[in-house]
Every structure is written in structure tokens, then in C-alpha cells.
Amino acid sequence: MRVVIAGLGYVGLPLAVRAAEVGHEIVGYDVDTVRVGRLARGESYVEDVPAQRLRAVLAEGSFRASTDPADCAGFDVALISVPTPLRDGVPDLSYVEACAELLADHLRPGATVVLESTTYPGTTEEVVQPILEKVSGLTAGTDFALGFSPERIDPGNPTWNVVNTPKIVSGVDETSLRRIKEFYDTVVDTTVTVSSPREAELAKLIENTFRHVNIALVNEIAMISNDLGIDVWQAIDAASTKPFGFMRFTPGPGVGGHCLPVDPSYLSWRAQRALGHSVRFVDLANDINNHMPDYVVRRLIDALNRRQRSVSGSRILLLGLAYKKNTGDARESPAVRIVQLLRQMGAEVRVADPHVVEAAHGAPDLAMVALTAEELRGADAVVLLADHDEFDYDLIGSEAKCLLDTRRRLHGPTVEVI
């Protein structure tokens, strides 16, 4: 089938390459000319898509990237995987709306449109469907298939990927569901059907809200444990030996990526708008996780003070700009907030991250450096934020004079763990 995938980020690109590999004709559409140019040269900016896989589908002619809306014409299936950010706590669906309008211009009877972008329950039928129908003059369920299939991409995960992670699928009617399932059955190992897009949209929010709330719980416990003089990591290790009724979550510098800082707030916003009250667990988790970067900076200040140093004028080396290990995804990364706070206090901030290839929003002119003995020795303090496997932890431990570890990867007399 001729498939258009709109949005070539951490969701769209792996899906596009996989769909091309199984025989579909893929047009990847993105408004970012730099991204499209890199893809045309066979350069991948997503770890889950090695350059050799990208170059293979480019050579076969089964995948091409474009910034020209005209290249979206003639599609059999179109997938929307564009950003859905929050603006001042309110969902911003402008990218979804613009994409729906673009696809509607090329919508034909018998075609299929699927929203993959994470959003609040009701978006597919209340936002996307009216745009497609108004612009095209066609009717969803009668003239074309429409549904929602939430992305489940976990960047950098070596075990679960776009192929072997079960894919939730839904449609606005039974025919739409059947067509959408038939398409995804060619791309992934397992599809899971639900009765309507609303259930699929809520399922995605439940998944991420569960993680968000539990991470906030262990983050709060970590802060309390430090004040009580208790090793929270040892306690978590002990609790993790229970074979039932417990799932391990660990503290960190905050949450990042598109999912956890954003998705649960979509659920809370929808509940507030439709029912007049928010989801209190989400609001509390937001408050705790959003302030973890401030807590990390406060712990760093304390560590420097004990060494008769102030943050102002100190050189701080941050290890990891990405929000999680072994990925270059710096979207909503807590490291960016930490950079901002330290700069405001007068620190000279440098960052080492072998994975980040796209600039992080909110941290302009950031000094990106290689992790060397010279950089470590020249830093007044080193903070481990993303525990990439590529980091030389023996070198870090031997050369850094003051270490704050937010991931419990380091040990030694100069190391403090949150």
C-alpha cells in the first residue's frame, strides 16, 4: 500500500522504516527541512533506526522523506504522528489539526487515516474527523476509515520495539477497525483491538499516568529518605525481592520525553473541562516530578558548600542531556531545566552526551564536550543525569573530585547519590 506517515520523530521514523521493510511504499512527511535532508542522505537521528536500515529502504525505493504536501497525494493509509505539546497547561493540537487539513486535501474514498499522536479521549472523533470530513466532503466510516492507534515507542529500549510491542488499534466503526487492524498486522507482531478510539486514547493515558505517579512516589520517598539518613536505593532493592504486589520504580532527576511530562496532563485537562474536576494524582505527580531538577540543584549546592565552593563561578559538568539512558531524546529533559537553573546562579555549565544529535529546546549555545579526563579534572562538580552505557564510569570515578549521581551508577568517597 502507499502509506503516508506525517511526522518523522521518535515515533514516525521507526514506524516508517519498518513499514517500508515489509513492502509498503512509504512517504515520510515532515515540515523540518533539516530532518528531511538528513534522511535523504541516509543519516538517522533516532537510535532505534540504525543508518544501515534507513539506507536499505532508501536504496530499495520503498521509503522517501519529503517536505512537499503534494507528495502526500494518492495515499491508501495515512498515519499522523506529530507532536501534541502542552502550552501553559493546555493541550496544543495545532500540529494535529494542520496535518488533518493537509491529508484531507488528498483523501479519497477507500483510504484510511489513523491518529497515533497521544492526546485526550475524544480527539479522533471530535477534532480530526470533522476536519477530514469538512475539507474532503467525505464521511468517516462510510467513505473512508478512521481510527486511533497509540504509539508505544520506548526510545533506546533494547528489548521492546515497534515490531514486538503489542499495538492497540481502534476505529470509528467496525469497517474502520478491520482495515486499520489489517494494516498494522503487516507491520507488528500483535494487535489488540478496542471498541472505539476513546478507549484507545484513554488506554495510552492510563499507561503513562501509571508510570508518572509511581515515579513521583519514589522521588518523594528519595527526598524524605535523604533527610532521614536512610539509603533509599537499598530499601528499593529490598522491596523488589517481593515476587507479587510490587513493581520496581527508581528515583531520578525528573521525567522527560513527550510522554510523562505531557500525557497525564491531557487526562487531567480533559477531566477538568468535561467534568469540572482534575485528576488529583496527576496534579500531585506533576508537582513532585517537575520540581526534581530543583532538588538536584539544591543537593549540588550542598555538596559544593561542604567543599567551600559556591555554584557561582564553578564549572559544572553534566553527564547526559537526554532524559533517559542510551537515547538521544532530549525532549522535555530535566537536564535542560538543571542547565537553566545553574546558569542563572552563575555556573559555567558543560554537558557530555554521546547520543544527543538534535539541539535541546531551552538550552541555547550549550557547551557540548567529550567525556575526557581533562574535562572531569577541570570540573568543580560532576552530575550524572543519564547513565548511558557508553560512559566510562571507572574514569568518572577516578577523576571527578565531586560527584552527584542521580541514577545510582557510581560508588566511592567522592560520590553522593540522590
Residues labelled as active-site residues: 259
Give which of 109, 93, 100 is closest to 131, Cα–Cα: 100
Residue 112 is inside which H or E element, if any?
A: strand 112-115
Q: Return the SS3 of 209.
A: helix
What distance in Å separates the CA atoms of residue 299 and residue 414, rounded to the nearest whole number?
Answer: 14
Q: Are 400 and 386 in contact (CB under 8 A)?
A: no
| Residue length of the chain | 418
Q: Beta-carbon neighbour count of residue 380 at 10 Å?
A: 20
Q: Are 103 and 74 in contact (CB under 8 A)?
A: no
Q: Are 380 and 309 in contact (CB under 8 A)?
A: yes
Q: Are 324 and 257 in contact (CB under 8 A)?
A: yes
Give which of 35, 31, 41 is closest to 72, Cα–Cα: 31
Q: Which three cell numbers stand for residue 159?
A: 528489548
What distance in Å separates the CA atoms of residue 349 and residue 343, rounded to the nearest whole number?
Answer: 7
CA 200 to chain centre: 19
Q: 77 exposed, middle or buried (CB, 10 Å; 0-12, 13-18, 19+)?
A: buried
With b meaning 16 or more CB within 10 Å and e meaning fewer, what string describes 346-373?
Answer: ebbbbbbbbbbebebeebeebeeeebee
| Distance in Å from the first CA to the final CA of the chain | 51
Residue 252 is inside which H or E element, if any?
A: none
Residues 6+ apart with CB under 8 A from 110: 76, 143, 144
What distance in Å separates the CA atoms of residue 253 and residue 418, rounded to the nearest whole number?
Answer: 9
Residues 6+ apart with CB under 8 A from 127: 93, 96, 97, 100
